[in-house]
């Protein structure tokens, strides 16, 4: 890792360190819409914190679910609650009964009682009003919604939809295409090799892996220009999490061409997933498997605690979120000028109420005291956002310089878990693109700002960009 940093610094040279006076002048005169257009056109490095099952926009989910009928998949969604006897739901687990727009396969539907079946409708048969409700149910876009809505209903509504690897593969490719239009070069995404057949039986992980690999080799994926690597996601508070972790290590070790790391995910304020639970298991696994990286969610909580420190003790090289890092001064000092990076998700942290407003976010303190950070999108389909939105928030709220923008882009590549050869190439290509972009902008800014980037819900609602001339 140290050797690579030296190479990267040589590639970057003085251009990253030099302050962009032209960018400061642009910020002083640019409208918010001008700034957004600029940031959309700006080359971007990588998105290192992205959950595939949370990266699909609601309209994508619906369109792709309906398209699966040709493969034998029919989906039903819950539109009524008839208080059926013996429903067997678990309101505080993964199968809540009192939840509208929960999606199930036809194989599951056929096993329900007649009363429960009367609560569901095929996706194909939804009324216009039901369709609007279905689409809205997968977005976190209302003031009364927050982390409980997200953690306890969004995933439970998707339910058996995100067990369809054909749907997820298409969501992945659509993300690649959309990110490619934003100028992204590298995507490191949580993608677990799971799938379900129309009859409800599970598909072997090897078969799912082969399908993803073949899908990424098709023309539309390749032409996106985005390089993709996978992480295997572990739900940290699951009762069998240690057993699953051992299985994941074995799978990642056998499929290093596509899988580069394991990511521990899940609501951190569920104490059953506390970091030190996994220390004995990880030490045993490291004695067996060489060089498997860890990226672990930590510090995504309200109260001060030692979770980030304990996560580093587990062997993680990257910290997901790290919102409460400043409440642990010893760990904060350890991470300054270090090889440990914080994956910053500004929109996620606001919508899930880990910060009340951006003035409370630790991001600028971390960035400007040399804790390595990079911006990422987390569950962008549920936020109705993109990576440009993250950069817009960062520049708008924290007055980022051109040098800082480049640092964020470089970090998002330097701290990726890809091999050194690919990393060196991507860093080199990124710097060339950024230099060319800056030169072209300074020669004629209208060329850059003439594009009309798509603006989605978050940026439209939070900054009202879509209503401005």
Does pLDDT of 45 surpass 50? yes
Q: Is residue 461 part of a domain?
A: no
Phi-psi region of 156 (alpha: psi -120 to 50; beta: other; left: phi over 0): alpha
Same domain for 150 and 169, yes or no, is: no
Full domain range(s) for residue 257: 2-55+165-449
Number of H helices, E strands in the chain: 25, 11
Average pLDDT over residues 425-454: 87
| 373: Cβ contacts below 8 Å, ≥ 6 apart | 341, 342, 343, 344, 363, 366, 367, 408, 411
Q: What is the pLDDT confidence band of residue 447, given thresholds at 50, 70 and 90?
A: low
Does pLDDT of 359 surpass 90? yes
Instruction: Tell me if residue 214 is catalytic.
Output: no
Per annotation, catalytic residue among 268, 300, 343, 404:
300
Which residue is listed with tokens 């039903």?
76
Task: Answer for the pair 321, 345: CB distance below 8 angstroms, yes or no.
Answer: yes
Same domain for 131 and 272, yes or no, is: no
pLDDT at 141: 87
| 107: Cβ contacts below 8 Å, ≥ 6 apart | 198, 199, 200
How far is the C-alpha of 357 from the C-alpha of 316, rounded, in Å?
Answer: 28
Same domain for 108 and 249, yes or no, is: no
- Of 178, 288, 188, 274, nearest to 225 by C-alpha is 178
Same domain for 117 and 49, yes or no, is: no
| 24: Cβ contacts below 8 Å, ≥ 6 apart | 401, 402
Q: Is residue 432 part of a domain?
A: yes
Does pLDDT of 54 surpass 60? yes
Strand partners, 190: 51, 231
Same domain for 153 and 266, yes or no, is: no
148 three-class SS: helix
How far is the C-alpha of 106 from the C-alpha of 109, rounded, in Å?
Answer: 5
pLDDT at 444: 80
Does pLDDT of 9 surpass 60? no
Tell me how far apart the 2 most distant CA atoms of the chain are, in Å.
71
CATH code of the domain in which 291 resides: 3.20.20.140
Average pLDDT over residues 118-135: 98
Same domain for 147 and 180, yes or no, is: no
Q: Is residue 469 part of a domain?
A: no
Average pLDDT over residues 171-186: 98
pLDDT at 468: 59
Q: Is residue 459 part of a domain?
A: no
| 140: Cβ contacts below 8 Å, ≥ 6 apart | 146, 149, 150, 154, 351, 352, 382, 383
Final residue belonging to a domain, choices 160, 190, 221: 160
> β-strand 318-321 against 75-78: which pairing, if any?
unpaired
Give rounded-to-5 percent helix, strand, coil for the chain. Answer: 55, 15, 35
Structural domain total, the chain = 2
| 145: Cβ contacts below 8 Å, ≥ 6 apart | 351
Same domain for 358 and 228, yes or no, is: yes
Q: Is residue 457 part of a domain?
A: no
Does pLDDT of 122 surpass 80? yes
Task: Answer for the pair 389, 347: CB distance below 8 angstroms, yes or no.
Answer: yes
Please give the residue that has the higher pLDDT: either 4 or 413.
413
Same domain for 305 and 350, yes or no, is: yes
Average pLDDT over residues 410-420: 98
Average pLDDT over residues 280-288: 98
| 148: Cβ contacts below 8 Å, ≥ 6 apart | none
pLDDT at 446: 65
Q: Which of 2-11, 253-262, 450-459 has the highest mean pLDDT?
A: 253-262
Angle of helix 420-443 relative to helix 402-414, nearest 10 degrees, comes to 160
Same domain for 229 and 277, yes or no, is: yes
Average pLDDT over residues 296-315: 96
Same domain for 138 and 237, yes or no, is: no
| DSSP code string of 64-113 | HHHHGGGGT--EEEE------TT---BTTTTB-SS-TT-EEEHHHHTTS-
Same domain for 13 and 119, yes or no, is: no
Does pLDDT of 150 surpass 50? yes
How far is the C-alpha of 462 from the C-alpha of 351, rounded, in Å?
Answer: 11
- Of 247, 52, 262, nearest to 168 by C-alpha is 52
Same domain for 87 and 47, yes or no, is: no
Q: Is residue 466 part of a domain?
A: no
Q: Is residue 61 part of a domain?
A: no
Does pLDDT of 13 surpass 70? no
How far is the C-alpha of 374 from the C-alpha of 393, rounded, in Å?
Answer: 13
What count of other Cβ atoms lies within 10 Å of the Cβ of residue 441?
20
Task: Answer for the pair 392, 39: CB distance below 8 angstroms, yes or no.
Answer: yes
Q: Which two three-digit tokens encode residue 399?
A: 């007055």
| Minimum mean pLDDT range among 86-100, 253-267, 316-330 | 86-100
How far is the C-alpha of 454 from the C-alpha of 384, rounded, in Å?
Answer: 12
What's the length of the chain?
Answer: 469
CA atoms within 13 A on the CB side of 337: 1
> β-strand 259-265 against 293-298: which pairing, if any?
parallel
Final residue belonging to a domain, choices 139, 160, 181: 160
Q: Which of 2-16, 92-106, 232-246 has the highest mean pLDDT?
A: 232-246
Q: Is residue 216 part of a domain?
A: yes
Q: What pTM was computed for the model?
A: 0.93
At 80-119, the pLDDT tens digits run 999 997 665 666 566 889 999 999 999 999 999 999 999 9
Final residue belonging to a domain, choices 160, 194, 216: 160
Mean model confidence pLDDT for the chain:
93
Average pLDDT over residues 305-330: 97
- Of 167, 156, 203, nearest to 61 by C-alpha is 167
């Amino acid at each position: 890792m140290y050797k690579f940093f030296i190479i990267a610094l040589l590639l970057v040279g003085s251009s990253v360190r030099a302050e962009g006076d032209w960018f400061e002048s642009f910020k002083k005169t640019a409208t918010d819409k001008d700034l957004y257009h600029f940031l959309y056109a700006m080359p971007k490095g990588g998105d290192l914190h992205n959950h595939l099952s949370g990266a699909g926009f609601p309209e994508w989910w619906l369109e792709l679910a309906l398209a699966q009928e040709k493969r034998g998949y029919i989906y039903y969604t819950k539109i009524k609650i008839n208080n059926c006897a013996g429903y067997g739901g678990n309101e505080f687990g993964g199968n809540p009964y009192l939840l509208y727009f929960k999606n199930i396969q036809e194989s599951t539907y056929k096993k329900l009682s007649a009363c429960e079946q009367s609560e569901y409708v095929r996706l194909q048969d939804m009324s216009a009003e039901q369709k609007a409700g279905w689409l809205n149910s997968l977005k976190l876009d209302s003031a009364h919604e927050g982390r409980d809505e997200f953690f306890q209903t969004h995933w439970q509504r998707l339910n058996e939809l995100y067990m369809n690897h054909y749907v997820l593969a298409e969501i992945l490719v659509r993300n690649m295409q959309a990110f490619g239009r934003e100028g992204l070069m590298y995507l490191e995404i949580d993608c677990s090799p799971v799938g379900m057949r129309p009859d409800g039986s599970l598909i072997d992980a090897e078969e799912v892996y082969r399908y993803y690999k073949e899908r990424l080799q098709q023309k539309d994926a390749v032409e996106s220009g985005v390089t993709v690597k996978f992480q295997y996601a572990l739900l940290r508070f699951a009762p069998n999490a240690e057993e699953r972790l051992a299985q994941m290590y074995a799978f990642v070790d056998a499929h290093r061409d596509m899988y580069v790391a394991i990511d521990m995910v899940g609501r951190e304020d569920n104490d059953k997933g506390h970091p030190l639970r996994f220390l004995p298991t990880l030490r045993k696994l490291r004695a067996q498997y060489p060089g498997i990286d860890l990226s672990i969610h930590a510090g995504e909580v309200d109260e001060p605690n030692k979770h980030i420190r304990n996560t580093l003790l587990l062997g993680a090289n990257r910290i997901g979120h790290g919102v409460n890092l400043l409440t642990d001064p010893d760990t904060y000092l350890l991470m300054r000028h270090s090889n440990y990076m914080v994956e910053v998700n500004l929109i996620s942290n606001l919508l899930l109420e880990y910060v009340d407003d951006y003035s409370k976010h630790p991001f600028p303190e971390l960035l400007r005291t040399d804790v390595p950070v990079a911006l990422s999108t987390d569950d962008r389909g549920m936020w109705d956002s993109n990576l440009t939105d993250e950069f817009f928030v960062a520049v708008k709220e924290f007055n980022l310089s051109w040098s800082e923008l480049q640092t964020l882009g470089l970090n998002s590549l330097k701290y990726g878990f890809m091999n050194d050869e690919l990393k060196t190439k991507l860093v080199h290509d990124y710097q060339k693109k950024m230099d060319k972009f800056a030169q072209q902008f300074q020669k004629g800014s209208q060329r850059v700002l003439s594009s009309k980037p798509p603006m989605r819900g978050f940026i439209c609602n939070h900054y009202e960009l879509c209503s401005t001339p």
